[in-house]
Amino acid sequence: MDRLTLYIGNKNYSSWSFRPWIAMTGCGIEFDEVLIPFDFPAGNPRFSEISPTARVPALHHGNIRVWESLAIIEYVAELFPDAGLWPRHVKARAEARAVSCEMVAGFRALRNACPMNIRRPKQRIELGDGVMSDVARIETIWRDMRDHFGGPFLFGAFSAADAMFAPVVNRFETYDLVASADTLSYMTAMKELPAWQAWQQAALAETWIVPEDEA
Ligand SMILES: N[C@@H](CCC(=O)N[C@@H](CS)C(=O)NCC(=O)O)C(=O)O
């Protein structure tokens, strides 16, 4: 089989890159990674060479190109049906896809106000009601799924749904947004993943600064 190449942005800031990266790494799927740093304010011209949207992440596999983080995960899940990217049970799989779609389509207030920033020291910022209602909905999803499927991850074992929420775990921590014990316990499970720690270590070693993402 051709090798998979995942193009990503800066590990410190690129929340959308983090999602397929941690999904694939956490499920033991091998791939090559190519990091193309952001180059604000002009935008990095290399982005348009690797994706029709000029955005990361993008996955290349032979002559197939896939863009959009969730589409990348779906493609890889088809290639490796036994890797456990999605839960095995049909109900769990349906709900995992539903909450993943919520993540892609929503939570804009949180995403805009609180950019993922792994290097940023923990510090609160002033936030509007929209952010706090996004936080409340995400905490409800996490609580309901873990109560129903037993934890420690959303659907029991780590899956693509956890990967889709991985940058939120950083946001909740960095901007000190949550305090409930069950939310913090889910965040701990995520942060203990070897894949999480590998990404974090690489992010901490980066020196690029993107002013737009420094809230
Ligand atoms: N919906 C897309 C979002 C991709 C996206 O917005 N990526 C950002 C980085 S996290 C990007 O490439 N921005 C290009 C730029 O800022 O120049 C996905 O799920 O992959």
3-class SS string, 177-206: CCCCHHHHHHHHHHHCCHHHHHHHHHHHHC
Considering the chain, tell me which residue range(s) the CATH 3.40.30.10 domain(s) occupy: 4-83
Ligand 1 proximal residues by C-beta, below 6 Å: 9, 14-17, 38, 43, 47, 55-57, 68-69, 104
112: pLDDT confidence band, cut at 50, 70 and 90?
very high
Mean pLDDT over 97-122 rounds to 97
Question: What's the mean per-residue pLDDT of the chain?
Answer: 96
**pLDDT at position 41, please?**
77
Considering the chain, tell me which residue range(s) the CATH 1.20.1050.10 domain(s) occupy: 90-198
Cα of 110 vs centre of ligand 1, distance in Å, is: 16
Lowest-confidence segment of 61-65, 115-119, 124-128 by average pLDDT: 124-128
Partners of 156 in the β-ladder: 153
Burial class (CB within 10 angstroms; exposed 0-12, middle 13-18, buried 19+) of 82: exposed
123: pLDDT confidence band, cut at 50, 70 and 90?
very high
**pLDDT at position 42, please?**
75
Q: Specify the CATH architecture of the domain 90-198.
A: Up-down Bundle (1.20)
Q: Which residue has the tokens 């990361």?
A: 56
Residue 138 half-sphere exposure toward CB, CA atoms < 13 A: 33
Cα of 179 vs centre of ligand 1, distance in Å, is: 29
Q: What percent of the chain has pLDDT over 90?
A: 94
Please answer whether residues 96 and 86 qualify as being in contact, where contact means their C-beta atoms are separated by less than 8 angstroms: yes
Q: Using CA atoms, how far apart are residues 3 and 105, in angstroms rounded to an integer? A: 30
Cα of 182 vs centre of ligand 1, distance in Å, is: 30
pLDDT in tens, 169-206: 999 999 999 999 999 999 999 999 999 999 999 999 99
Ligand 1 site-directed mutation target among 24, 55, 116, 165, most atoms within 8 Å of CB: 55
Would you state the structure tokens that stand for residue 56, as one six-digit string?
């990361």
Q: Cβ–Cβ contacts within 10 Å for residue 194, how many? A: 9
Q: What percent of the chain has pLDDT over 70?
A: 100
1: pLDDT confidence band, cut at 50, 70 and 90?
confident
Helix, strand, coil percent values for the chain (each to nearest 5):
50, 10, 40
What residue owns the CA closest to ligand 1's atom 17?
A: 43
Please answer whether residues 50 and 36 qualify as being in contact, where contact means their C-beta atoms are separated by less than 8 angstroms: yes
**pLDDT at position 40, please?**
75
pLDDT at 121 over 90: yes
Cα of 148 vs centre of ligand 1, distance in Å, is: 32
Q: Cβ neighbours of residue 205 under 8 Å, at least 6 residues apart?
A: none
Q: Using CA atoms, how far apart are residues 68 and 71, in angstroms rounded to an integer? A: 5
3.40.30.10, 3.40.630.30, 1.10.10.60, 3.40.50.720: CATH of 4-83: 3.40.30.10
pLDDT in tens, 3-54: 999 999 999 999 999 999 999 999 999 999 999 999 877 778 999 999 999 9
